[in-house]
Structure 1
Amino acid sequence: MPQHDDLAPFHILLGDGGVLTDPGMTDRYTRDHRDLMQGSTPAVLRPRSVEEVQGLVRLARAGGFGLVPQGGNTSYVGGATPEPGRRQLIVSLERMTRIRAVDPLNFTLACDAGIILADAQRAAEAEGLFLPLSLGAEGSCRLGGNLGTNAGGLQVLRYGMARDLVLGLEVVLPDGALFSDMRTLRKNNIGYDLKQLYIGAEGTLGIITGVVLKLWPAQAQRATAWIELAAGAPIPEMAATVRRETSDLVSTFELISASSLDLVAAMQGAGTGLKAGPGGAVLLELTASSSRIDLDAVLMGCLEDLMERSWVTDAVLAQSEAQRRAMWAVRETIPEGEKHAGGSVKHDIAVPISNITAFLERGAALLAEHLPEVRLSVYGHVGDGNLHYNLVVPQGRDRLDFTRAIEADFAHRLYAAAIELGGSFSAEYGIGRFKRDLLVRYADPARLALMETVKRSLDPDGIMNAGAML
C-alpha cells in the first residue's frame, strides 16, 4: 500500500470527496458484480471534469500507479475490478453526469460518460426522442462502461450494439492528452475512425469521458406478445419470418426456456401467469414511432402465420402497459431467479442466427453426455444470435468450486461447439479478467498480435486497466 503522501497530489487535485480511501467506502468498488473476485485499491478517484481526469492520469503515471476505469461496476467478467498487488487506482466517473446537449433535429445526445444509462434515456425522452440502448442493469450501469464493453442488450436486433449508436467520443489518453471527437456528423470520412478503438477496449487504451449518441423518434406505440413455442420450432426461420412480415418493426425477439421460466416462478413462490410451450417461449415486441400504423393488427397477422406453420401453440398479447411490463419483468428476473436457486455459471454465447438451433442441439447433447444431473437455464437475444447458456449450481455444491470445475472442462466443450458453428465465447459481456485466458486460447494469433501492438503503442507504460483483456 502506498504511503499517505503518495495520494496527497490526488487530494489536492480532486478536492473534497474526490479521493476515497476508507475500506468501508471503497469495498463496493473493489468487489466484482458476481462476487467472484475481491480486488484491492489504494484509493477510488472521483473526478468532476475532463480536466481533472487528465490531471489524475498524469499524476498516476508520474507516481507509478495503474488506473482502472469503472462505470456502474456491473461487469460480468471482472473488467472493472482492480487486481491485488497491481497498485491500481479506481477511476469512477460517477460525479461526471452532465447532459451537454440534446439536438431534436439532428437526433443526437451529447453527455458525460459517467451518466447512468436510464438517465440518458430519460433525457432523450424529454425531447420526444428515443435512445435504444437498453440493459437489465440500465438503472445503475453508466455510459462509459457501456461503451468500454460495447454493450449489447435487448434491442440489438434493430439498432445494433453500443458502437453502432456512437457518433462522437471524448477520451483521456494514457499520457493525459485529450482525444476529442465529439462531432454530431453521420458522414465524416476524414481518415481512420479512431473512436472505434476505444469502444469495446474495456478501458485498456484510455478513459472515455464524453460521448455523442444517435437517437431515434420516440416510440409512439408498442405491440408485445408472449409466444409459446411448439416442439422443434425452427427459431431462425421464425425470427426471419417475423422480421419480413412486420416490415422489420421488431425491436426484440427473446427466447426463454421452460427451465428459466421455472426458476422465476420458484423464486416468486407462485406461477408467473405465463407458460412455455414444448419448445420454450419467445417474448416478441414491435415498436413504431408513428400512430398511423396499426401495430396490433400487424402483430396478429404475423402470429396467425406462425400458428398456421405449426411453430406456435399459443400466444398472449399484452392488452395494457401493465401486462406488457409483467411480461418483461419475467424476462428480466431470470438472472435473479438463477441466483435464488444457488447461482449459475454463465456462458455468453454468440452464433450466427441461422445456427441457433444447431447450437442448442449440440449443447443439449453435451450436457446429457457430461453433466446429466445439472439444470440448464437458457435465454437470450436470439434475434441477434446471442444466447445466455447458464448452468445452475446443483444444491449442496459450492458455487465457486462448481464454477471452477465447469470452466476447466465443460465450458471449453461448449465454446468449441459455438466456434465450429461460426460463433464466439463472448457475445456482449466482453473479456475482462475472467475471460482473458479464453482470448489467448481461441483468438486468431494475428488478431491477438494486432491487439497487443495497439496496446503497446497507445499505453507503453501499461497503466490503463492492466490485467483486463490482455
Structure 2
Amino acid sequence: MDADPALDGFRALVGEAGLLTAPDLTARYLTDQRDLVRGVSPAILRPRSTAEVQAVVRLARALGYGLVPQGGNTSYVGGATPDRSGRQLVVSLERMAGIREVDAAGFSLCADAGAVLADAQAAAEAHGLMLPLSLGAEGSCRLGGNIGTNAGGLNVLRFGMARDQVLGIEAVLADGTLFSDMRTLRKHNVGYDLKQLFIGGEGTLGIVTGVALKLVPKPVAHATAWVELADGAPLSGLLAEVRRESADLVSSFEFITRNALDLVKDLGTAAGLKAGPGGALIIELSASSRRVPLDALMEGILEGMMEHGWVSDAFLAQSESQRLDMWRLRETIPEGEKQAGGSVKLDISVPLSQLDAFLARARAAVRQHDPDLVLSIYGHVGDGNVHFNILVPKGADRLAFTREVDAGLAHDIYAIAADLGGAYSAEYGIGRIKRGLLERYADPVRLTLMRRIKAAFDPENAMNAGAMVDPVP
C-alpha cells in the first residue's frame, strides 16, 4: 500500500507500470549522475503521452505536489534530482520515446522528449541525414534533457548548441495547459520566440514533451587527425588556422592534456596515440560530398602547423577504425577520471581568443593553491569550452574534497574566467549544484528578469523548485 493514498489518483492516470514507489525501483531516479545530490520522492511518474503529462500536472497541482522532469538522468549539476522534502514527484519521460516524423525533404525530425538521443540520430541516419547533436552520453541521455540543459557536445563548433538546432517545441505548463509550437519553419517572425525560453530552462518553466529538430546532410567523408602539440602551441591560433584553411569545414577541435590522456593510457598505447609537451588535439573535417578533398586539406593544414612550430607530430587516420580509436579515447576520459577516484568538474567557457590566457592563469592558480593537485583538462575548445577538472587526491574522500574545492579554489578559477569574459557553466547548466554560482556571478538585471519569467510561467514554483531560480517575490 502506498504511503500516501493520494498517489492512487496518479496510478489511475498513468497505469500500474507508470507509478513506481518501491525503494528498489525508485532509487536510480533519486540520485544525480555524479552522486553529489540525493533526493526523496514518494513516487516516480512515467506517463506515456502528452495528454497523460497534462493530467499528471493538473492532479499534482491540486494535491500540492511539486514536479521534477527527468530525461536520462545524466545531469552533472543535479538538475533532474528532487529535493529532500518528499513533496516533489519525479516525472520521467522514458516511456515517451517515439520518433514522430522524419521529413527528409525538409531536413527535420520530430520526436517525443523522452526519445534517446542515439535513437533520434539513428532515425535521421536511416534517411541519409544527420542530427548534429552528439554527446558522450548519447546512448542514455534523452532529447528533453538535452533541450532543458541546452546541451553542447562534439559538434558545437560547426552546428551550434542544442538551441541552434531546435525548430519547435511542445511543453506542458505548470497549470496543465499545452504550449504547442512544433512547426518546422525556418523563418517565423511573429513576436517573442517563446520556445527559446524552454531551451536551457531545466524544466523550471514547464515539461517539454516534444521537439522538432534540424537535420543536415549526413557526412560521408571525414579527415581526422591526431595532433601532438609542441610546448606553448597557441590553441586560439591553431583553431583560426584550421577554420581558415579548411574553408570552415572543421566539425570538431578537441583538446586533451597529457594528464587527461594518462587516465586512458592503455587505450592510447594500443592505438599508438600520445600527447606532445603541449597536449594533443583531435581535429576533424567533414563533408557530405566525396568530391571535397578533405585529406588534402588536412595535410596542408598540418604542414602549416609544423612550419609554425606548433606541432611536434601528427597522425592522419587512414581508416574508419583508426578514426574511431581517436574518438573512443577522447570519450573514455570521463570514465577514466571515475576509475582514478573521481574529479571536481569545472565546466568553463571563455572567448576563443582567451583560451590560452585562461589555461595559463587557471593552472597557475591551482599550483599556488596546492602544487600536488593533478588536473585533467580536455574539451571542445573549438567553441571555447574547457573541462577544467581537478582529480581527487588518492586516499581522499571524493565528496569532502569536492565540497572543499567548490567552497574555495573553484571560485578562483571562476573569477579568472569571468575576468576574461567567460562563464562558470558552458554546457552543464545550473541545476541545484550551481544555483549559488548563478546568484553570486549573474548580472543583477539578468537574474531579476529570469525570476520574473519564472514567476510568469510558474508563480507557485511547482516546476523543478530548487533548480536554477525561484520566482521573483
* TM-score interval, normalised by the smaller of the two chains: over 0.9
- The aligned counterpart of 2:74 is 74
Secondary structure of 1:40 counterpart: coil
Mapped to 2, the partners of 1:365 and 1:4 lie a distance apart of 54
Alpha-carbon contact 1:418-1:425 (below 8 Å) kept: yes
CA offset at residue 456 of structure 1?
A: 1.0
1:445 pairs with 2:444: yes
CA offset at residue 451 of structure 1?
A: 0.6
**Structure 1 residues 277-288: aligned runs within 5 Å:** 277-288=276-287
- The aligned counterpart of 1:396 is 395
- The aligned counterpart of 1:327 is 326
Mapped to 1, the partners of 2:2 and 2:456 lie a distance apart of 28
Instruction: Provide TM-score, normalisation by structure 1.
Output: 0.98
Mapped to 2, the partners of 1:12 and 1:274 lie a distance apart of 56
CA offset at residue 3 of structure 1?
A: 4.0
* Structure 1 residues 57-103: Cα deviation after superposition (integer angstroms, max 9, x where no partner): 00000000000000000000000000111510000111111111111
Mapped to 2, the partners of 1:132 and 1:257 lie a distance apart of 26
Q: 1:206 corresponds to which letter in structure 2?
A: G
Alpha-carbon contact 2:102-2:109 (below 8 Å) kept: yes
- The aligned counterpart of 1:420 is 419
CA offset at residue 4 of structure 1?
A: 3.3
Percent same amino acid at aligned positions?
64
**Structure 1 residues 66-105: aligned runs within 5 Å:** 66-105=66-105
- The aligned counterpart of 1:28 is 28
CA offset at residue 271 of structure 1?
A: 5.6
1:201 pairs with 2:201: yes
- The aligned counterpart of 1:299 is 298
Secondary structure of 1:450 counterpart: helix
Where do 5+ consecutive residues of structure 2 fail to align? none
Secondary structure of 1:4 counterpart: coil
- The aligned counterpart of 1:433 is 432
- The aligned counterpart of 1:117 is 117
Secondary structure of 2:105 counterpart: coil
CA offset at residue 367 of structure 1?
A: 1.2
CA offset at residue 294 of structure 1?
A: 1.4
Alpha-carbon contact 1:264-1:272 (below 8 Å) kept: no
Mapped to 1, the partners of 2:207 and 2:268 lie a distance apart of 44
Q: 1:73 corresponds to which letter in structure 2?
A: N
* Structure 1 residues 23-59: Cα deviation after superposition (integer angstroms, max 9, x where no partner): 1001010011101122111100001111000000000
Mapped to 2, the partners of 1:54 and 1:60 lie a distance apart of 10
Mapped to 2, the partners of 1:13 and 1:396 lie a distance apart of 49
Alpha-carbon contact 1:222-1:295 (below 8 Å) kept: yes
> What is the RMSD of the two structures over their aligned residues, measured on CA atoms?
1.2
CA offset at residue 273 of structure 1?
A: 2.3
- The aligned counterpart of 1:211 is 211
- The aligned counterpart of 1:342 is 341
1:48 pairs with 2:48: yes
**Structure 1 residues 151-300: aligned runs within 5 Å:** 151-265=151-265, 273-300=272-299
Q: 2:355 corresponds to which letter in structure 1?
A: I
Secondary structure of 1:347 counterpart: strand
Where do 5+ consecutive residues of structure 1 fail to align? none
Q: 1:258 corresponds to which letter in structure 2?
A: R
Mapped to 1, the partners of 2:95 and 2:132 lie a distance apart of 24
Q: May I ask how many residue pairs the two structures share in their alignment?
A: 469
Mapped to 2, the partners of 1:270 and 1:394 lie a distance apart of 25
CA offset at residue 298 of structure 1?
A: 1.0
Q: 1:458 corresponds to which letter in structure 2?
A: F
Mapped to 1, the partners of 2:14 and 2:33 lie a distance apart of 27
1:139 pairs with 2:139: yes
Alpha-carbon contact 2:236-2:355 (below 8 Å) kept: yes
Q: 1:273 corresponds to which letter in structure 2?
A: G
Mapped to 1, the partners of 2:46 and 2:308 lie a distance apart of 57
Mapped to 1, the partners of 2:319 and 2:209 lie a distance apart of 39
Mapped to 1, the partners of 2:358 and 2:23 lie a distance apart of 45
Instruction: Provide TM-score, normalisation by structure 2.
Output: 0.98
Secondary structure of 1:346 counterpart: strand
Mapped to 1, the partners of 2:202 and 2:297 lie a distance apart of 41
Q: 2:96 corresponds to which letter in structure 1?
A: M
Check 1:384–1:303 CA distance in 2 against 1; reply closer, same or farther (3 A cut). same
Mapped to 1, the partners of 2:268 and 2:181 lie a distance apart of 51
Q: 1:320 corresponds to which letter in structure 2?
A: S
1:357 pairs with 2:356: yes
Mapped to 2, the partners of 1:20 and 1:364 lie a distance apart of 46
* Structure 1 residues 369-395: Cα deviation after superposition (integer angstroms, max 9, x where no partner): 111110010000110000000000111
1:37 pairs with 2:37: yes
Q: 1:7 corresponds to which letter in structure 2?
A: L
Q: 1:224 corresponds to which letter in structure 2?
A: T
Secondary structure of 2:281 counterpart: strand
Mapped to 1, the partners of 2:317 and 2:107 lie a distance apart of 30
Secondary structure of 1:333 counterpart: helix
- The aligned counterpart of 1:382 is 381
Mapped to 2, the partners of 1:317 and 1:269 lie a distance apart of 15
Mapped to 2, the partners of 1:320 and 1:354 lie a distance apart of 33
Mapped to 1, the partners of 2:360 and 2:383 lie a distance apart of 18
* Structure 1 residues 133-159: Cα deviation after superposition (integer angstroms, max 9, x where no partner): 000000000000000000000110000
* Structure 1 residues 422-442: Cα deviation after superposition (integer angstroms, max 9, x where no partner): 000000000000000000000
Alpha-carbon contact 1:259-1:377 (below 8 Å) kept: yes
Deviates more, 1:383-392 or 1:301-310: 301-310
Secondary structure of 1:261 counterpart: helix
Mapped to 2, the partners of 1:419 and 1:270 lie a distance apart of 37
CA offset at residue 327 of structure 1?
A: 0.6
**Structure 1 residues 2-21: aligned runs within 5 Å:** 3-21=3-21
Q: 1:152 corresponds to which letter in structure 2?
A: G
Mapped to 2, the partners of 1:369 and 1:8 lie a distance apart of 58
CA offset at residue 269 of structure 1?
A: 10
Q: 2:255 corresponds to which letter in structure 1?
A: L
Secondary structure of 1:153 counterpart: coil
CA offset at residue 2 of structure 1?
A: 7.8
Alpha-carbon contact 2:261-2:268 (below 8 Å) kept: no
Mapped to 2, the partners of 1:168 and 1:314 lie a distance apart of 45
* Structure 1 residues 309-347: Cα deviation after superposition (integer angstroms, max 9, x where no partner): 111111011111111111111100111111111100000
Structure 1 residue runs of 4 or more that deviate by more than 6 Å after TM superposition: none
